[in-house]
Structure 1
Amino acid sequence: MSNHRLGLRRLPLPHIRAQLHMTERYYNHRPHLVLPHPPSSTWTSDLQSGDVSGVSIQQQGSFFGFSIEFGVTTQVLGLNSSFLQVPFLNLMANLRQRGGSVRVRVGGNTQETATLVASTPDGAALEKDYAGIANPTATLPLVFTTEIIKMMAEISALTNVYWYMGVPFNDTQHWRLQIAEVGEAMLGNYLIGLQGGNEPDLYSRHGHRPDVSPQDYKDEFGLLIDAMNADSNIPNKDLLIGPNLAGMWSPTDIWETGFATDFNQNLAALGVERYPTDNCYAQFGIGTPRTGPEMLPTFLTHQAGKTIVPWLSDSFRAALWGIDYALQLAYSNFSTVLFHVGGQSVYYNPFTRSY
């Protein structure tokens, strides 16, 4: 077989010698590497004495946390105290390893109608009343047993999770304080807050109350304090959190009623939520339709909030916005930011249940 058939070509000898000659010239005349001088091991820095202006309060590793809608606790946390969701435990354990502890709120709209019962017909820790829906966001009334709170205690023992819960606020003439009683008894120091009402500025819009005003809410919050003070099964009277606004009222509307000053001894924290817009039209047919391209600029200018927009709320860009916005809150002396988990049908979940 000839070289031609193999596709080979013999290089002329002078050409090979020329290549070798160029290689020798390169190695003989290549530039020498000049190492930089090592950095100085001593330097001078003028330290400022006294307080630094413009610095926020000292933040903790648990600054970022989660808010879990009460109605989906058995989907996220576990079925009961004997069946905990391992993926959730792993996530909490990872966060504890990095931040020391984790703060989780169990509440939301479903806390307003939650009723603690001795047992449910099918033995579940939580059941929803699908026939009792009477609001535009299809929030389900629910009943639950002490297994929910016992499950939370088991999670705390394993992963150092601290909890916020909420007292039902839908009937302020007949307070259901069992969630506070059992919560304090079972969770102990792991219960760090009890919300008094969730989004009271949306009560009228959602059909919960007619014409609720900031003063009305303040008065009802006072009734809650009176009821808790009279309940010997609630030893800690200073765990309440309010006003938990959605944005229809401004915080100033509440402060002008004397809420923060009059209830200072009973408040563990002041809480607010951010709803500058929504995409309720996509799921409930109310409000204004929203699209990802339309809403994108609001995520770049710190104006969006708990907005439900597919391919935007669950995007990497939105995650960066969330971190940036939360750090703005940290700078403004907010002590905790909670990312809400609303179930599998929403787009804004910080993590997705996949089990």
Structure 2
Amino acid sequence: MFLNTRSLFVWCLAALLEAEAASVSSKRKSIVLSESAPSNAGIPLDSFVSYSFELSSWPEFAGNLSYPNKFSYNLLNNIGNLQGSLPIARVGGNTQDIAIFDASQKTGLLGIVRPNISSDYPTIITIGPSFFESYKTMPKGTKYSHGFNLGANSSAARTATFASAAYACKAIGSDLAYWEYGNEPDLFVSSGYRPHNYTEAEYVEEWLNGTTAISSAVKAACPSLANTKFMAPSFAGVGPANDFFTLDPVLAWKNGLDQNDNIGLISSHNYMGVSTSPGITLQGTLMNHTNVVAKAGDQLREWAAIKALGDGLDPDVPFILGEHNSLARQGRPGLSNSFGAALWGVDWNVYLASQNISRSHMHQGTNYRYQSWQPIQTNLSTIGTKPPYYGNLAVAAMMSEPHPSSLLKITHLPASSANNSFYTAHVDNTLTRLLIVDLHTYNTTANNYTTSFPRP
């Protein structure tokens, strides 16, 4: 059982203030606070703290009707109680574009791991109708986004994907928030799903044809959900295109991605780096506010370029991160699963909110190094919460809205520096919270940040 919102936030703030005092004991810093929210404050959507679940891991995180995952249920409830709205569960990721639907399959998901391709998730996957039971196990009121396979490039695979829409809509029902068609299609060439000359225009044509087919199937099976919109385009890169990210998201919009007016959220993906890249460090890559501002700036420039298209090409809908976490390729041990990464998660997510990036879906997968919790016992990891989850709790407390009608505004304060960041939350134009994040690394075996009081 967790403390109430106010108590948890005060505890987190006290811990952060102690750390700040320890690291700058001989310095003073003035922080100017405004009683009312400034005009440039960010206004996050409800369910700002949300999650993205690897499709192949979803049955393990959620369970099924016979064996619901009560651990995940409780952890999602904690977040919902703190921020005032339950997280939205986006189900997708790399395995979304691998999974082939088989209506005759009795088992929810069958997967084969090929370590030469990836040891983190299966790369041959079939799902059956019972896969969709997992959408019925989480706290009442949880909303979902289900991801359909765009990567498979055969008529049989597409027919199976469109057939799965009826099963998905019947299982999710009124808890459906959005659909998604394709995960990171700007990596389809790198992944071998499309030829090297694959263009934005070809992607848009495929996406329009596929989403029309999905919507038609949903209209026939679930008439009340016929107008459900999509989150898109879910690109990994922010443009311009290069040899790795071979599609430019702005050009996709310019080619008429939203010409059917069926996109409800602009969804982009982000990682602070790649886990296998040289030079990645906790202090330099994650616990670094300058890097946070720079990476978020890439997303903001993409959004600005989309808005600048005008002429009906800009969908004029909220911009979100539909998938993100610390380091791509499921994180790095010792970095992504550290409490330093938890502090990065606090700084990163609250900064996003302050910049009007409206919702944050942190990606999760079984045995992933950056996961917030391990949903089941495996030979690689024990079931339990991981350090990033405690950062998620702090962000949820910062985003707390006492009533559904409350207006929350988040401000990034100019006193922030490379290793310290400062934020305020105003609720209904009243200063309600101050958040101070100390990003100086601390090692219990060192004496560079000793204090006369016990650390929490």
TM-score range, shorter chain: 0.7 to 0.9
8 A Cα contact 1:68 1:108, kept in partner: yes
8 A Cα contact 2:181 2:211, kept in partner: no
2:127 alignment counterpart: 144
Which of the numbers 168, 172, 182 marks the counterpart of 2:167?
182
Letter in 1 for 2:202: D
Question: 1:197: how far off?
Answer: 0.8
Letter in 2 for 1:209: R
Seen in structure 2, the aligned counterparts of structure 1 residues 209 and 335 have a Cα distance that, compared at 3 Å, is same
In structure 2, distance between residues paired with 1:351 and 1:299: 25
8 A Cα contact 1:215 1:257, kept in partner: yes
Question: 1:58: how far off?
Answer: 5.0
Seen in structure 2, the aligned counterparts of structure 1 residues 135 and 177 have a Cα distance that, compared at 3 Å, is farther
1:100 alignment counterpart: 85
Letter in 2 for 1:267: I
Seen in structure 2, the aligned counterparts of structure 1 residues 299 and 251 have a Cα distance that, compared at 3 Å, is farther
Give runs of aligned pairs for residues 194-273 of structure 1, distance below 5 A.
194-211=179-196, 212-231=198-217, 232-233=220-221, 235=223, 236-247=226-237, 248=245, 249-260=247-258, 262-263=259-260, 265-273=261-269
Query: Which stretch shows the higher mean deviation, 69-78 or 138-147?
Result: 138-147
**Alpha-carbon deviations, 1:233-287, whole Å to 9, x = none?**
3542432111101113554333332324x24x211211110135212x4xxxxx6
In structure 1, distance between residues paired with 2:279 and 2:121: 18
In structure 2, distance between residues paired with 1:136 and 1:220: 30
Q: Secondary structure of 2:369's match? A: coil
Give the number of aligned pairs. Answer: 293
1:129 alignment counterpart: 112
Aligned-pair identity (%): 24
2:312 alignment counterpart: none
8 A Cα contact 2:44 2:353, kept in partner: no
Which of the numbers 80, 83, 94 marks the counterpart of 1:109?
94
In structure 2, distance between residues paired with 1:335 and 1:129: 36
In structure 2, distance between residues paired with 1:134 and 1:237: 38
**Alpha-carbon deviations, 1:183-218, whole Å to 9, x = none?**
211211211111111001111111111123222221
In structure 1, distance between residues paired with 2:287 and 2:342: 14
TM-score, scaled to structure 1: 0.72
Please, which runs of 5 or more residues in structure 1 have no aligned partner?
1-45, 282-286
8 A Cα contact 2:113 2:119, kept in partner: no
Which of the numbers 17, 20, 39 marks the counterpart of 1:53?
39
1:168 alignment counterpart: 149
Seen in structure 2, the aligned counterparts of structure 1 residues 229 and 293 have a Cα distance that, compared at 3 Å, is closer
2:334 matches 1:311? yes
Question: 1:126: how far off?
Answer: 1.3
1:85 alignment counterpart: 69
Larger relative contact order, structure 1 or 2 (CA cutoff 8 Å, min sep 6): 2
TM-score, scaled to structure 2: 0.57
8 A Cα contact 2:287 2:340, kept in partner: no
Seen in structure 2, the aligned counterparts of structure 1 residues 133 and 267 have a Cα distance that, compared at 3 Å, is farther
Give runs of aligned pairs for residues 5-44 of structure 1, distance below 5 A.
none
2:58 alignment counterpart: 73
8 A Cα contact 1:275 1:306, kept in partner: yes
Runs (4+) off by over 4 Å: 131-139, 287-294, 296-300
8 A Cα contact 1:103 1:164, kept in partner: yes
Letter in 2 for 1:147: S
Letter in 2 for 1:220: E
In structure 1, distance between residues paired with 2:185 and 2:89: 21
In structure 2, distance between residues paired with 1:54 and 1:152: 37
